[in-house]
Amino acid sequence: MTQRGLLAGKCAFVTGASSGIGAAAARVFCREGAAVMLVSRREDRLAALVEELRGKGYEADYVKADVVCGGEVSAAVDRTVSRFGGLDVAFNNAGAGAMQTPMHLMPDEVYDTLMDTNVRGVWNCMRHQIRVMLARGGAIVNTSSTAGLVATPVAAPYVASKHAVLGLTKAAAVEYAAQGIRINAIAPGSTHSEMIDTWLQQDPGARELLLDAAPLPHIAEPEEVAEAAAWLCSDRASFVVGATVPVDGGWTVR
């Protein structure tokens, strides 16, 4: 399909693409004209989404990979280049979450999972994406969270991991901006996802808590967050480097 949009003619790489913000980003990026490689651990969901996108005339493919494993990420990036002819934009969205429990009762496994997925995953992705982007430049967007800006009511290691994502984003942005690679981050607030929706089902008071916490009384749809990522990846954000863009209905303004 001949497509014009924010990302027309670009080759994109989206992690965490099997659900939530990542799946929404795959749809938004395709709609905006990109050829999109979907990356996640859940192959059945990836295959179904790629079939949906191709059915609409978009160019999309998938690779099953775990961002915690550098070798799998490297292979996925190389597959993107061989499949689409290059890599122009990347949305590093894969992540893990956990609800707030007292730190002194939290098992080491929770810390390890959150830090490995949320921090090492971004580290692995950026290293290999930058490796191929050096030839012609590109744009990378990493998903942090409002928990990367303030202490939100989630597990402490999650807060730490999302702060670390912003640190990695800023360091890499400074290092590679002069070489034509723009790197930024988004900080989503309450967004319909597997984790949030499960919480809403388990805790009848959670919805009111979330709605009262932001000036805009609204839980975002994944597409609303994906739109911000698409803009940051596009040439219209050409002078935006090392920024953190809250997509949170004003939650962090207070």
Rg (the chain; Cα; Å): 17
- Give me the pLDDT at residue 199, please: 66
DSSP 120: I
Give the SS3 label for residue 80: helix
| H or E stretch covering 17 | none
Model confidence, pTM: 0.94
Q: Is 158 a catalytic residue?
A: yes
Rounded CA separation 161/147 (Å):
9
- Domains of the chain in start order, with CATH, are 11-246 (3.40.50.720)
pLDDT > 60? residue 2:
no
Number of Cβ within 10 Å of residue 61's Cβ equals 16
Distance between CA 102 and CA 128 in Å, rounded? 36
- Residues forming beta bridges with residue 182, ordered by sequence position: 139
The active-site residue, picked from 58, 111, 158, 176, is: 158
> Residue 172 — very low, low, confident or very high, per pLDDT cuts 50/70/90?
very high
Distance CA 113, CA 161 (A): 10
The model's pLDDT over 54-112, given as tens digits with 9 standing for 90+, comes to 999 999 999 999 999 999 999 999 999 999 999 999 999 999 988 888 999 999 999 99
